[in-house]
């Protein structure tokens, strides 16, 4: 029987944590009592589950809990582990691991300061250990599956693709006060993006696009000091850029639904869920980078930016059609059914 590493419940929700939360919610609907449990550090809150048991164990938190208390619990109780957030205990672990991408290995040029280099070194160690020791690996796209083979020689038969999805956006109510909060934004008249200072998100492209199209408004949501970073790039004080800071889920849904287009000029992703969320919220267009991963996920349902020839121009894209058509390809319920089959040993590897 499997026990999930639930340390992610204490973390800020990004794409990786979202994947874990949504799959567990769906698994709780289809598994029988006793088939799966979640282990968490003490005082970590989780959702209420009907069929999945939650156990609190250990005396540590964070990485130390994951590397010591969690594997100790597995050994003492004769359980296999399921780690869903790119890392696993280095010792005393047997089970399955989800690797969302291998960006730290594929793009070392993204990690140049001391802190990011340390993080990259840790994750590259994790990738090597996972490739060698994990009984089975789950990832979110055929692209990431091929990257595991390319960089770590992982036999594709050891990897199952279980993708992200978008139905969590249906539970989010749009916030009708968003346009009162940002009165300079008018429905259908602004480009919207959600960014941060991670280099793979390619924040500078959005700024260059704004500079090249001064008659349009570009609204950028996200944490970190984006305005300061823009200044360091020599792109400060662009009059048509609005830095929104962190936005609530409801605000994001409203802004996605009413934008002219959602921009996602990523340099590297394992899946790239924000454009899918934007489409689910009603965004009429999404502009994504023309990379193998984005082509796999979005097919003909997105407009593509050739980053090699397009330094920042929202009009210079390869147009797609019917963005909403991509939604039928992805479902948390379908992904959970795949995972349930794996947990029960009912499916062949490499799906």
114-133 and 142-152 are packed helices; what angle lies between their axes, rounded to 10 degrees?
90
Q: Is 257 in a helix, a strand, or coil?
A: helix
Helix ranges, 31-141 (H): 62-64, 70-77, 103-106, 114-133
Give the separation between CA 195 and CA 115, rounded to whole angstroms: 20
What pLDDT sits at residue 348? 47
Q: Which domains does the chain have, with CATH numbers?
A: 2-165+331-343 (3.40.50.2000), 167-329 (3.40.50.2000)
What pLDDT sits at residue 346? 80
- Torsion of the alpha carbons at 150, 154, 156 and 162, rounded to the nearest 10: -90
What pLDDT sits at residue 349? 46
**CA nearest to 279, candidates 233, 245, 342, 327:** 327
Q: What is the DSSP string of 169-207?
A: GGGPPP-TTHHHHSTT--TTSEEEEE--S-GGG-HHHHH
* Residue 251, CA distances (Å) to 176, 184, 273, 280 in order: 8, 15, 17, 14
Q: Is 79 in a helix, a strand, or coil?
A: coil
- Torsion of the alpha carbons at 49, 248, 201 and 314, rounded to the nearest 10: 130
Q: What is the DSSP string of 270-283?
A: SS--HHHHHHHHT-
Query: Model-level pTM greater than 0.85?
Result: yes
Q: What is the pLDDT of residues 184-216, one digit of tens each?
A: 999 999 999 999 989 999 999 999 999 999 999
Rounded to 5 degrees, what are φ and ψ at 22?
-70, -40
Low-confidence ranges of the chain (pLDDT < 70): 347-351
Contact 151, 173 (CB under 8 A): no
Give the separation between CA 294 and CA 296, rounded to whole angstroms: 5
**CA nearest to 287, candidates 308, 309, 315:** 315
What pLDDT sits at residue 347? 58
Token pair 């540590």 is at which residue?
60
What are 40's two structure tokens? Answer: 């968490």
Give the separation between CA 205 and CA 316, rounded to whole angstroms: 13
Give the separation between CA 162 and CA 139, rounded to whole angstroms: 6
Which run of H or of E encompasses 69?
none
């Amino acid at each position: 029987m499997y026990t999930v590493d639930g340390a992610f419940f204490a973390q800020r929700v990004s794409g990786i944590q979202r994947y874990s939360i949504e799959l567990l919610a769906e698994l709780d609907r289809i598994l029988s009592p006793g088939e799966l449990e979640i282990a968490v550090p003490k005082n970590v809150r989780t959702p209420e589950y009907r069929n999945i048991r939650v156990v609190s164990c250990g005396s540590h938190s964070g990485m130390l809990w994951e590397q010591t208390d969690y594997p100790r619990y597995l050994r003492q109780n004769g359980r296999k582990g399921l780690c869903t957030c790119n890392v696993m205990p280095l010792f005393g672990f047997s089970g399955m691991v989800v690797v969302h991408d291998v960006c730290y290995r594929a793009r070392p040029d993204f990690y140049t300061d001391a802190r990011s280099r340390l993080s990259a070194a840790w994750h590259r160690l994790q990738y090597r250990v996972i490739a060698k020791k994990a009984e089975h690996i789950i990832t979110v796209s055929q692209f990431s599956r091929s990257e595991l083979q390319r960089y770590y020689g992982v036999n594709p038969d050891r990897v199952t693709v279980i993708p992200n999805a978008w139905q969590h956006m249906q539970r989010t109510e749009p916030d009708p006060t968003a346009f009162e909060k940002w009165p300079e934004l008018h429905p259908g008249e602004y480009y919207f993006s959600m960014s941060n200072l991670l280099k793979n998100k390619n924040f500078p492209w959005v700024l260059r696009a704004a500079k090249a199209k001064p008659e349009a408004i570009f609204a950028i949501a996200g944490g970190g000091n984006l305005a300061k970073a823009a200044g360091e790039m020599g792109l400060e004080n662009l009059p048509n850029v609005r830095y929104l800071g962190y936005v609530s889920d409801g605000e994001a849904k409203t802004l996605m639904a009413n934008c002219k287009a959602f921009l996602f000029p990523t340099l590297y992703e394992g899946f790239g869920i924000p454009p899918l969320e934007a489409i689910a919220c009603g965004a009429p267009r999404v502009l994504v980078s023309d990379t193998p991963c984005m082509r796999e996920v979005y097919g003909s349902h997105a407009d593509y930016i050739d980053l090699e020839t397009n330094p920042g121009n929202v009009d210079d894209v390869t147009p797609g059609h019917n963005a909403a058509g991509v939604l039928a390809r992805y479902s948390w319920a379908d992904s959970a059914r795949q995972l349930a089959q794996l947990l029960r040993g009912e499916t062949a590897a490499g799906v």
